[in-house]
């Protein structure tokens, strides 16, 4: 294994560790790290999407076994987000003749979604409390809002590889305030797998995929997730979340400007 490959494996280990410990941060961190390594935005997004689909698939199996997934909600979310992902991929394919334009669109989209993800992570508990307090009243989101949010999530995930995690969870908090946390997390993961898989395969069909890079990332992330999951709760959430949010804000700002 050369130095570059070793670096990708270490990156996978670090991101996997953070995901295992906090439950968030996978796509939010991996794509910017790949950009830092000099990977083109389109290839970074495409590779990270399949990386996310594979790593989250095991989570679906565990959550399904523990009956932590509301398959009806997962179905409605998928019905909105997957077609939106397909439409976004079609749009990116129309920019195929201008690689610089496609990369510029992805980079700016990545900056916006990183900032939104940072805010979602930072104010997660407050949003959850607000949703629970106003469940059923005039602040409760309607079915139309659900459709709109799932479409937006699909667009964000396809364009940047980010959004299926932190933003998807926050959307579920607002849409289904009575859903217990363990089922909310399981449902979000179950929704993320087909979404990231479709988006990832779409990017692969456009050539935005580095298969050897994907292998090195998985080589590091799988043991990283295992180690991180055993440290869950050892470090206060009130410390982890602001640190992660601050890091994402800085990365988003740097990409935008």
Q: What is the pLDDT of residue 189?
A: 79
Total number of domains constituting the chain? 1
Q: What is the pLDDT of residue 135?
A: 59
Q: What is the extent of the structural domain holding 65?
A: 3-256
Residue 82 to residue 202: CA distance in whole angstroms: 11
Can you give the pTM of this predicted structure?
0.76
Name residues whose C-beta falls within 8 Å of residue 23's C-beta, 6 or more positions apart in sequence.
Answer: 185, 232
Q: What is the pLDDT of residue 62?
A: 75
Q: What is the pLDDT of residue 215?
A: 93
Q: What is the pLDDT of residue 123?
A: 77
Mean pLDDT by 10 residues, the chain (257 residues): 78 81 66 85 87 81 82 82 84 74 78 79 72 58 68 71 65 71 78 86 89 92 78 65 76 75
Burial class (CB in 10 A: 0-12, 13-18, 19+), 20: buried
Residue 47 to residue 161: CA distance in whole angstroms: 9
């Amino acid at each position: 294994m050369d130095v570059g490959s070793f670096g990708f494996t270490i990156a996978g280990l670090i991101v996997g560790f953070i995901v295992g410990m906090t439950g968030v941060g996978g796509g939010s961190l991996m794509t910017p790290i790949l950009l830092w390594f000099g990977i083109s935005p389109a290839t970074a997004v495409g590779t990270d999407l399949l990386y996310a689909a594979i790593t989250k698939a095991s989570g679906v199996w565990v959550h399904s076994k523990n009956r932590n997934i509301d398959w009806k909600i997962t179905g409605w979310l998928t019905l909105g987000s997957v077609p939106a992902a397909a439409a976004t991929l079609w749009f990116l394919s129309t920019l195929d003749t201008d690689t610089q334009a496609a990369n510029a669109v992805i980079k700016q989209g990545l900056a916006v979604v990183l900032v939104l993800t940072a805010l979602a992570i930072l104010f997660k508990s407050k949003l959850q409390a607000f949703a629970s307090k106003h469940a059923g009243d005039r602040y409760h989101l309607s079915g139309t809002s659900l459709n709109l949010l799932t479409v937006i999530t699909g667009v964000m995930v396809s364009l940047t590889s980010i959004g299926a995690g932190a933003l998807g969870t926050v959307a579920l908090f607002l849409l289904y305030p009575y859903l217990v946390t363990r089922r909310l997390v399981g449902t979000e993961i179950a929704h993320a797998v087909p979404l990231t898989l479709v988006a990832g395969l779409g990017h692969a069909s456009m050539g935005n995929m580095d298969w050897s890079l994907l292998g090195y990332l998985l080589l590091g992330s799988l043991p990283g997730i295992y180690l991180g999951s055993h440290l869950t709760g050892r470090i206060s959430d009130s410390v982890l979340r602001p640190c992660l949010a601050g890091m994402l804000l800085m990365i988003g700002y740097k990409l935008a400007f």
